[in-house]
């Protein structure tokens, strides 16, 4: 059957009906759907509809979660994803899929992915600090409005969050002044990422006290951004920022955990839907997992996991990428602390059986990267087509 109607001039094809376009979209995998956005403005507008999932009559199963790798090397940022199996054995190997390369120049930090999107923070030599929202699968990116500051004492940090009720992405920006022996007041701004890229403006929000973010990354769990911060008198606390209400709350940190945080940092993870803080004890063959059991009462629980002796030295240069399910933690090698390229495998640690499993990676061309390439890895990444 001809695609061109008889009432059209010869050689000119008619525009496909919207319902037919929707039907076609419903049968495609997401990465092909992303490519279809480049066919025409009509197709792009249909896919970009806020209720596009309701428009597709055929519901496809949700894609399985994967592990997202970002590798920063020589000004470029490479995006890979890996399968995320549960309970792998020694014979398991994971084949990496390369998606695209983007500019990684002056990259400062990569935030934890949320709903298929990633927030990157960049700081260049001209004292610009800005955030970029990108989709590792489609390659689309959105640079948020930036400011240039005349003083290098002015610092900024970005946190990425998602409101599951209103289904909105928001970025929290914290600005403060830091001098050699003194820190000054801080400011807080929020930007909502709209579906049509309109009104991308920072608006100021108020916090109950002055806080200075720590170097550790934050994490968003069920609509709340958690990140460690220092108060005016040097006291450490966990800040809870509700993405929907844009309100702040503080959770006290016990002296034991505060001492460990202050000594060499920690990593925030999600543990059974709750906030967890991973801390490696470099002097003993163990690591600790602190879990925030009650936000209102500021109650933490502490779990200590012994590292088998044969693994103690092998994991001296690893850091957690996150939790899988409820009892497995994934570790990747921290290239910034090693003098040789060794990221050809990741480690699974089962909290219940106290066992490590070494999983080989295939398809990651690490031999093309320098030995000090910065590697970021995140578990539970779900591929998706997001509006940029």
Both tokens of 251, joined, read 């959770």
Relative to beta strand 236-242, strand 219-221 is unpaired
Rg of the chain (C-alpha set): 23
Structure-model confidence comparison of residues 323 and 363, the more confident one: 323
Which is it for strands 93-95 and 355-362: parallel, antiparallel or unpaired? parallel
CA distance 155 to 190: 16
Whole-angstrom Cα distance, residue 318 to residue 336?
10
Q: Tell me the pTM.
A: 0.82
pLDDT band at 15 (very low <50, low <70, confident <90, very high): low
Q: CB-based burial of residue 322 (10 Å sphere; 0-12 exposed, 13-18 middle, 19+ buried)?
A: buried
Split at pLDDT 50, 70, 90, the class of 205 is very high
Superfamily of domain 66-381: Kelch-type beta propeller (2.120.10.80)
Are 300 and 290 in contact by the 8 Å Cβ rule? The answer is yes
What band does 219 get if pLDDT is binned at 50, 70 and 90? Answer: very high
Looking at the chain, the domain(s) classified CATH 2.120.10.80 span: 66-381
Structure tokens of 145? 């409005």
Residue of 27 and 134 predicted with greater confidence: 134
- pLDDT at position 181: 56
- pLDDT of 257-268, one tens digit each? 666 555 456 789
pLDDT confidence of residue 260: 54
Across the range 44-53, mean pLDDT stands at: 61
pLDDT digits (tens, 9 = 90+) for 144-168: 988 766 566 678 899 999 999 999 9
Q: What are the phi and psi torsion angles at 343 (to 5°)? A: -90, 35
Residues 50-72: pLDDT tens digits?
Answer: 455 444 444 456 678 999 988 88
Q: Look-up: residue for tokens 């966990």?
A: 238
């Amino acid at each position: 059957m001809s695609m061109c109607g008889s009432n059209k001039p010869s050689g000119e094809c008619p525009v496909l009906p919207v319902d037919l376009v929707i039907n076609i979209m419903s049968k495609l995998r997401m990465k092909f759907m992303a490519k279809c956005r480049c066919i025409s403005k009509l197709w792009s507008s249909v896919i970009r509809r806020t209720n596009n999932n309701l428009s597709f009559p055929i519901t496809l199963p949700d894609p399985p979660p994967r592990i997202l790798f970002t590798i920063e090397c020589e000004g470029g940022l490479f995006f890979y994803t890996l399968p995320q199996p549960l309970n792998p054995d020694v014979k398991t190997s994971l084949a990496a899929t390369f998606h695209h390369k983007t500019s990684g120049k002056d990259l400062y930090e990569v935030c934890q992915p949320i709903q298929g999107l990633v927030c990157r923070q960049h700081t260049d030599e001209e004292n610009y600090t800005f955030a970029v929202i990108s989709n590792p699968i489609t390659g689309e990116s959105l640079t948020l409005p930036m400011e240039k500051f005349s003083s290098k004492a002015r610092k900024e940090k970005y946190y990425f969050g998602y409101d599951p009720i209103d289904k909105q992405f928001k970025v929290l920006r914290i600005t403060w002044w830091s001098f050699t022996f003194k820190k000054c007041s801080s400011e807080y701004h929020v930007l909502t990422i709209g579906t049509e890229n309109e009104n991308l403006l920072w608006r100021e929000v108020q916090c109950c006290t002055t806080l200075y973010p720590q170097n550790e990354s934050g994490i968003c769990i069920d609509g709340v951004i958690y990140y460690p911060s220092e108060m005016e008198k040097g006291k450490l606390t966990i800040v809870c920022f509700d993405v929907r209400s844009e309100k702040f709350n503080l959770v006290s940190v016990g002296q034991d955990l505060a001492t460990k945080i202050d000594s060499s940092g920690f990593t925030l993870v999600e543990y059974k839907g709750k906030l967890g803080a991973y801390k490696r004890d470099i002097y003993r063959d163990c690591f600790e997992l602190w879990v925030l059991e009650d936000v209102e009462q500021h109650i933490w629980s502490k779990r200590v996991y012994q590292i088998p002796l044969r693994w103690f030295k092998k994991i001296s240069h690893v850091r957690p990428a996150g939790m899988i399910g409820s009892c497995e933690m994934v570790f990747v090698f921290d290239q910034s602390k090693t003098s040789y390229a060794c990221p050809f495998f990741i480690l699974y640690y089962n909290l219940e059986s106290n066992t490590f499993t070494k999983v080989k990676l295939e398809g990651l061309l690490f031999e093309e990267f320098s030995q000090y390439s910065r590697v970021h890895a995140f578990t539970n990444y779900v591929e998706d087509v997001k509006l940029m």
